[in-house]
Amino acid sequence: MKSLMLTLTRGALAAALTACGVASAFAADLKVGLSVSLSGPNSSLGVPYAKGMQAALAYKPEVNGRKVQLIVLDDGSDPTTAGRNARKLIEEDKVDVLMGTSGVPAAIAMAQVGKEAKVPMIGLTPILLDASENPWVMTVAQPTQLMIDAVVERMKRNNVKTVGYIGFTDAWGDLVYNALMKAAPEAGIKVVSNERYARADASVTGQVLKIVALRPDAVMTGGAGTPGALPFLALQERGYKGGVYGQHGLINPDFVRVVAASGQNALMPTGPVIVAEQLPDDHPTKKIATDFRAVFQKVNNAPTGDAFSAYSFDGWLVFADAASRAMKKAEPGTAEFRVALRDAIFSTKEVVGTHGVYSFKPGSLYGVDERARVIVKLDNGQWKLAP
């Protein structure tokens, strides 16, 4: 009996040691920690982000012959949980880079943790932070201003003189409004209203009545996902005849399904990936965008129609490019590697992604230029390039 116990103990010990060995072998590989909103109000964006990341993993599973491990956590659309996830990813999983998330406040929470722990973070949303104080974070999303500038240019071309604004009560509504307020006066356009609604609201009749009473030439909406369809529906119901403009937060197949005919002819900016097949052949991002569509279809068994999964894909491309350079300087899994990776990301030059061409430099969170935006028109439920 005693010898049996001894054998069992030895066996268990050996198994434990082997397990440790396996774990350390894993630790030498690259680790990416992704925290996204798989549940909660932001999950309409978070789920595509996660799917896009799986596609990216399938597209480029290795960097310089080293396997990349992806760890995905759900933040439940809550910034506190996102911060906690970031801490967990860094301390328990020892990730080399953080990526996330679908909400701007949650992404900021993650970036703060990354900054404290000195782990680089590739944001997938337009994070609003002071770049000089946050040298560990950058984002692949287009700056809101770049996108809204395109909308305001289009308004000017369409002879819009006054515009009403209706958007979310949260940070996204503020971001769009502030960008609009910055660009519109320069283009000679007057913003006449600042109406807000919550994502969970059932109706915006009150707000829309107020806007319609002011008779603006156009209405700009600052919403995202399916809740972003509400102003379009209410404006249609009130018989509003002017142009309705959106922004890139609305580029989502579910938005198209819910807004239905009320969104006809709505104009909004987006990354070129949405209309990849309509782009001219010499467009820099056309080829990679087509590749992305193919790999996404293969991994998720469904086509992409949203802009969010493509951000994840671009984040991965930027990471893979930087990691291949950083690996020459340090071994993955170490603090030196994380510094090298950060420096490598900030010296990214002309990495072609699906949304744009990325070139990061220290002192700026963003890495895209005018090549990362097009204006699209919603036409019978399809996005059409509106050159």
**DSSP-based three-state secondary structure for 185:** helix
- For residue 70, the surrounding DSSP H or E stretch is strand 66-74
Question: CB neighbours (10 Å) of residue 305?
Answer: 18
Least distance between another protein and beta carbon 35 (Å) = 16
Least distance between another protein and beta carbon 278 (Å) = 25
- Give the footprint of another protein on residues 256-285 (CB under 8 A): 257-258, 260
Member of 35, 44, 142, 247 binding another protein (CB under 8 A)? 44
Q: Which amino acid is at 30?
A: L
Angle at 299 between CA 39 and CA 350, to 5 degrees: 90
Member of 29, 93, 201, 291 binding another protein (CB under 8 A)? 201
122 binds another protein per the rule CB under 8 A: no
371 binds another protein per the rule CB under 8 A: no
Least distance between another protein and beta carbon 330 (Å) = 39
226 binds another protein per the rule CB under 8 A: yes
Site string for another protein, 138-167 (x = CB under 8 A): ----------------------------x-
Q: Are 315 and 348 in contact (CB under 8 A)?
A: no
The strand order across the sheet containing 374-379 reads: 190-197, 162-168, 218-222, 243-245, 267-270, 374-379, 382-385
Member of 29, 93, 153, 254 binding another protein (CB under 8 A)? 254
Specify the residue, 24 or 169, whose C-beta has the smaller distance to another protein.
169
Least distance between another protein and beta carbon 166 (Å) = 8
From 10-18, 19-27, 41-49, 104-112, span contacting another protein (CB under 8 A): 41-49
Number of helices (H), then strands (E), in the chain:
12, 15
Name the nearest CA neighbour of 333 among 29, 25, 111: 29
Q: DSSP for 14-74, please give it.
A: HHHHHHHHHHHHHHTSEEEEEEE-SSSTTHHHHHHHHHHHHHHHHH--EETTEEEEEEEEE
Tokens describing residue 271: 């990354």
Cα 252 versus chain centre, distance: 12
200 binds another protein per the rule CB under 8 A: yes
Q: Which of left, alpha, beta for 159 (phi over 0: left; psi -120 to 50: alpha)?
A: left
Rg of the chain (C-alpha set):
23
Member of 30, 34, 47, 219 binding another protein (CB under 8 A)? 47
Whole-number Å distance between alpha carbons of 310 and 49: 8
246 binds another protein per the rule CB under 8 A: no
Q: Is 241 exposed, middle or buried (0-12, 13-18, 19+ CB in 10 A)?
A: exposed
Least distance between another protein and beta carbon 48 (Å) = 10
Least distance between another protein and beta carbon 10 (Å) = 45
Specify the residue, 56 or 229, whose C-beta has the smaller distance to another protein.
229
From 180-188, 229-237, 321-329, 350-358, span contacting another protein (CB under 8 A): 229-237
From 84-92, 249-257, 273-281, 315-323, span contacting another protein (CB under 8 A): 249-257
Member of 35, 142, 207, 312 binding another protein (CB under 8 A)? 207
Binding site for another protein (CB under 8 A): 39, 41, 43-44, 46-47, 166, 169, 195-198, 200-207, 209-210, 213, 225-227, 229-230, 237, 252, 254, 257-258, 260
